[in-house]
Structure 1
Amino acid sequence: MRLSSRQRTETDLPGVVGTVRVGRRADLLAPRLRPGDIAVIDHTDLDRESARALADSGAVLVVNAQPMISGRFPNLGPEVLARAGIDLVDGIGADGFAAIADGRQVRVHEGRVHVGEAERAAGRVVDLATVEAEMEAARTGLVTQLESLTRTSTEFLRREQDLLLHGKGLPVTATRFADRSAVVVVAGPEHEAELRSIKPYLKEQEPVLVAVGRVADRLRERGYRPDVVVLDADDDADRPSAAVLKAARDVVVRTGPGRPSGAEGLERMGVRPLVFETSATAEDAALLIADAGDAKVVIGVGLHASLEEFLDRQRGGLASTYLTRLRLGSRLVDAAAVPRLYSGRVRPHHLLLVMLAGFVALAASVSVTPVGQDWLDQLADLLPLV
């Protein structure tokens, strides 16, 4: 385990020292972290998005009650943290997790967590070499995951066949999608870079902008106003600000069948949401809404494009993700492909430059002909001598 000299105790005891912040879900704990803190989580198979949030927080060490990589599939989070130079300890167990109090000053050395002189928990040190070896071994579990996908996809299609095949149950939005392109933005690992890459497209084509969850706030900070905001009734922590919700033309709340939507709370804020009852994920609900509106093309920003990404972040909704993409088919385009396909709108000065280049080429061609020589001689006679 890498030791940070700036974090050592005044008595020069070995290890990493910092204020500990405890939370079971890494994505909910990350906003509470400050540079130099030690994060303690209870998160099996840490995913990349949660790991990125921990790394961006400035935490110097992450302690996990569960295995960072269980071996079921190659989850991407531990590699993100290891490559960011953040120390990792896993497997301290439920008792170790319960023994560490939030806000205390702790010292972690060789996988052991000390509060003062007392050892409160012990686990395994995980470095980059360990992560890479376990990731390689976990890839053998993909066959099992694919078999599970086949089974869950059949079950999901049986439940949602009216939605996927006939579009029944989809909310009717006030936003018009027909004959327009739509950009669906999800808070994926690369969504900020992808937004920058399609900035000319957003400015020139003015597509329908659909934001999923809290990413709507980030769009507003960049100067964009989402036309449609899709919320997950089961994830209050991912809800954007009231100002963004009120500014949106449509707010859609995705809720599971037979579960409360939480629409009453939004109505008290002055927002009248549309309720979309489905077992699909909020991300997939947004794609289905754009598809049902007959958008010409649907560009996905921050979406999960590979099998490993699906397994890493969308394990519970993998069947939903898979079948939704089949539903959209060729209409769905990943944002990473847009800069290769779209070079921008032709502007007047572009045409002027083309015309000027053509005029120069024509003049050069004419000048070498007898007629052109006569014209040049006549022009020389008309010009005053200098």
Structure 2
Amino acid sequence: MLFRRTRIRALTPGDAVAAIGRVDKRTKDLTKRLEPGDIAIIDHRDIDRVSAESLVECKPSAVVNASKSISGRYPNLGPEILVAAGIPLIDDVGPEIMTAVTEGQRVNIDGPDIYADGKLAGTGTVETSELVAADMIEAEAGMSEVLESFVTNTIEYIRRERDLLLDRVGVPDVRTPIEGRQVLIVVRGYHYKEDLAMLRPYIREYRPVLVGVDGGADAIMDTGLKPDMIVGDMDSVSDTALTSGAELVVHAYRDGRAPGLERLDKLGVDCVVFPATGTSEDVAMLLADDKGASLIVAVGTHDTLIEFLDKGRKGMASTFLTRLRIGSKLIDAKGVSRLYRQRISNLQMTLLALAGIAALAVAIASTAGGQTFVGIILAYLDGVFSWIHNLFWSPSAG
């Protein structure tokens, strides 16, 4: 039996939520099967913005986190988004909750306490906007340590990928024609839906090469378009996208291992392997740059310092360096919206002018004076036509 309860803004000891529990350590995997009203049980230290927005879109009745949603390493944005959306967040419950609740089990939340089939499974802290704000202030003090680690990872990445970054060694050949064309790279990240909708006129006019990074390929298809290329480890992209005819570039580890190859073999589709350190969006950008793209437009990628840190991976150092490597060729989708204005064709101008003339004629004809004026014009035109007719068809003309 399924239990559903509408969302409440905050939980106190007197409040309760009853629903089906969905359990997964990986938030992005959980959101694939999370239904509205379910209780999401995750183990996500420092919930990032993308994960929080994905959870909000699924509309769970509550989120239970085994780890601390704000550990204090840096001011991550996820918890604030969840609390602002009115989704109860029970924080720092402990790792035991991940085994105390099984997938599909009935879960009851009473204030900070979580029950599974009537038995206490864990107790955490009910996050409020005041608690989140206080934690964010403390987290800002931990930025220096995180930045030092980020710089160290950046130096290590330069040492490992010097040949790729500087000499473009290791970039595979692809069949998709890119030389001299604009490339639109879509990552299922920050506000990707809004950016794609905003870029529809740009896509229609310039016909850029459409590159989806893992789930970004599905984002492209959701708009009614088809990706020309899919880049990634192929773990978060649908079979429909993989079999759509797009060229597949599998992001492999530096030693050549590529877990995504097994899935593609089962689907019976061909692919190209690109071994590189870093993230799949970096690989897509480096590939587009190496193959001669005239401009690279990024949708849903990372731009600000907090967004880099929000990703929570050492590989984000590669993202920073990749942007330095590509330079002025790379532009964010939001920048395109400010710089780009759709050109109006001559046909559109002509149709607009005719529509204006027709509207003016209707307006004139609807008044008494206008009807008299139209009558005079029609009488004059009738006289002109009669003169032309008599000129060519009168007996004297014969």
TM-score range normalised by the length of the shorter chain: 0.7 to 0.9
Larger mean CA deviation between 163-172 and 146-155 belongs to: 146-155
Equivalents in 1 of 2:91, 2:187: separation in Å?
Answer: 29
More divergent stretch after superposition (40-49 vs 214-223): 214-223
Give, in angstroms, the shift of residue 78 of structure 1: 0.8
Question: Which is worse superposed, 144-153 or 255-264?
Answer: 255-264
Q: What CA distance in whole angstroms lies between the structure 2 residues aligned with 1:108 and 1:272?
A: 48
1:255 to 246, 252, 256: 252
Partner residue, 2:25: 24
How far apart, CA to CA, are the structure 2 residues paired with 1:35 and 1:265? 29
Unpaired segments of 5 or more residues in structure 1? 357-379
Q: Does structure 2 retain, via aligned residues, the 8 Å contact 1:88–1:125?
A: yes
Q: Which amino acid counterpart does residue 258 of structure 1 have in structure 2?
A: D
Residue 20 (structure 1) shift: 1.4
Q: Are 1:294 and 2:292 an aligned pair?
A: yes
- Report the structure number with the largest CA radius of gyration: 2
Query: Equivalent residues in 2 for 1:27-38 (5 A)?
Result: 27-38=28-39
The answer on whether the counterparts of 1:182 and 1:207 sit within 8 Å (CA) in structure 2 is yes
Residues 299, 113 of structure 1: alpha-carbon distance in 2 compared, 3 angstrom cutoff: same
Alpha-carbon deviation of 1:269?
2.7
Report deviation, 1:287.
Answer: 0.6
In structure 2, what is the Cα distance between the partners aligned to 1:109 and 1:164? Answer: 53
Partner of 1:311: 309
After superposing the two structures, state which structure 1 stretch, 66-75 or 258-267, moved more: 258-267
Question: Which structure 2 residues correspond to residues 7-86 of structure 1 after superposition, within 5 A?
Answer: 14-86=15-87
Give the whole-Å Cα distance in 2 for the aligned partners of 1:44 and 1:68.
5
Show the counterpart of 2:387: none
Q: Specify the SS of the correspondent of 1:279.
A: coil
| 8 Å CA contact retained: 1:49, 1:77 | yes
Of residues 132-141 and 55-64 in structure 1, the stretch that sits farther from structure 2 once superposed is 132-141
1:177-213: CA deviations, max 9, x gaps? 1221110000013101000111100001000111111
Match of residue 366 from structure 1 = none
1:231 to partner: Cα distance: 2.0
Aligned partner of 1:46: which letter? Answer: I
**Distance in 1 (alpha carbons) for counterparts of 2:74 and 2:183:** 33
Unpaired runs of 5+ residues, structure 2, are 9-13, 355-376, 384-398
- The secondary structure found in structure 2 opposite 1:32 is coil
Counterpart in 2 of 1:276? 274
In the TM superposition, residue 304 of structure 1 has moved relative to its aligned partner by: 1.1
CA distance in 1, matches of 2:225, 2:106: 42
1:245 aligns with 2:248: no
- TM-score, normalised on structure 1? 0.84
Between the aligned partners of 2:303 and 2:90, the Cα distance in structure 1 is 30
Q: CA RMSD in A?
A: 2.6
Find the residue that maps to 2:197 and give its secondary structure.
helix
Aligned equivalents of 2:250 and 2:182: distance in 1? 22
Looking at structure 2, the residues matched to 167 and 329 of structure 1 have their Cα atoms a distance apart, in angstroms, of 15
Equivalence map 1:345-384=2 (5 Å): 345-349=343-347, 352=350
**Distance in 2 between residues matched to 1:6 and 1:205, nearest whole Å:** 45
Q: Number of residue pairs matched?
A: 352
Asked if structure 2 preserves the Cα contact closer than 8 Å seen for 1:174 and 1:249, the reply is no
Code of the aligned partner of 1:251: L
* Identity fraction in percent: 39
Q: Secondary structure at the match of 2:175?
A: coil
| Counterpart AA for 2:84 | R
